[in-house]
Homo-oligomer: A and B are copies of this chain.
Amino acid sequence: MPSMRAHVYRIAADGPDDVSGLDALFAGGVSAKNVVAVLGKTEGNGCVNDFTRGYATRSFEALFQKHGVEGVSLVMSGGTEGALSPHWTVFTREMVDAVAGRALAIGVARTPHLPPHHLGRREQVLLVADGVRKAMRDAGIDDPRDVHFVQIKCPLLTLHRITEAEAEGNSLATRDTLKSMGLSRGASALGVAVALGEVDAQEIADADICSRYELFSHCASSSAGVELTDHEIIVLGMSDRWSGPLEIDHTLMRDAIDATSVHETFRRLPQPSRLAAVLAKAEPDPSGKVGGKRHTMLDDSDISGTRHARAFVGGVLAGVFGITDLYVSGGAEHQGPAGGGPVAIIVEKED
């Protein structure tokens, strides 16, 4: 009896346009049409004017076009601060002739276009919630408790989009382009929380977004990018309809130095196993303190706070896992508690 089976590949990138590693995988027999998603860490600043995300997206589009494949979810997160290493995490899925067991499941979805004046507002929350439910169905996951990571790529406002929207008579949630990234990430995360039943949709008003941080999802990871105006959604979880040796679990870092929670979850996963991927969110604690001590990430006008946070939490996680090609994405509004964030770990059981 056939089942679905996922594969996860972590591939080094020599630059935002270096898709040669994946091309080599294809040459080695992996089928391009099985690729369902690529999560990339590119080496730009991860903020408004980070063109490495778009450049990478364009490069992958060209690669997939060459192989006759369309519609792969491409989620690029900018910022490889500290010793974090630019890389691609490639997810494939295929029908195999194996009895279904409990294994890693992957589903994707794409929302309709988000009008700029809906960004950072309740409309974005609901739009994303719908998309997450769709991606869960695509993954064959029924129970929200089986979802361990929801990656969303969401849009941001540029001055150009702001000007256009205002010319059409719309008022926006913010005119600050950097701040729009936070609002978009926050609203997207709340969309995940709504879809997973973590937060009641009725409870969320416009004003709560990026302010009532006690509302959050345990599994959401959202990144804003200039290169899209809708949402790419990828759901990762465990499903009884899939097969293979891959397993996923997740935890929450309570704050930026909470290595303990990560160690514990890592230890809970099957042994022996090979580490397949670590996916995490990081942000400067909005309280201005970590562990009771002042940090300076939010007072630094030279380096964006998200860059500081990725570098630092990248260090915490690299210390735990011993690798640097970690997917650490910045800006964790409503993604875990304020100053903390979700960490998903995927391992491949070895016999």
Contacts and interface: CB of A to CB of B under 8 A. Distances in A.
A80 interface: yes
Contacts of A173: none
Identify which of A49, A177, A297 gathers the most chain B CB atoms within 10 Å of its CB: A49
B298 A159 contact: yes
A295 B83 contact: yes
Given A49-B300, A299-B158, A308-B81, A259 B293 contact: no
Pairs of residues from A and B, 6 with the lowest C-beta to C-beta distance, nearest first: A315-B315, A82-B312, A47-B301, A311-B311, A259-B319, A159-B288
A276 interface: no
Nearest to A256: B83
Identify which of A162, A226, A293, A301 gathers the most chain B CB atoms within 10 Å of its CB: A301
Given A49-B296, A319-B320, A309 B82 contact: yes
Nearest to A54: B17
A-side binding surface: helix, strand, loop or mixed? loop
Contact of A84 (B48, B287, B295, B324): B295
Interface of A: 12, 14-17, 43-45, 47-52, 54-55, 58-59, 80-87, 158-160, 162-163, 175-179, 226, 256-257, 259-260, 284-288, 290-291, 293-304, 307-309, 311-320, 322-325
Given A45-B301, A257-B324, 6 more contacts: A15-B51, A16-B54, A45-B302, A51-B55, A163-B288, A256-B315
A239 to B, nearest CB: 31
Given A295-B324, A319-B320, A179 B177 contact: no
A318 B318 contact: no
A260 B82 CA distance: 19
B51 A51 contact: yes
Given A82-B309, A294-B14, A49 B319 contact: no
9 contacts: A51-B51, A58-B59, A84-B296, A86-B294, A162-B288, A291-B322, A303-B307, A311-B312, A314-B315
Given A45-B301, A297-B82, A315 B319 contact: yes
Given A288-B160, A312-B83, A257 B49 contact: no
Contacts of A50: 301
B319 A257 contact: yes
Contacts of A294: 12, 14, 85-86, 159-160
A16 B293 contact: no
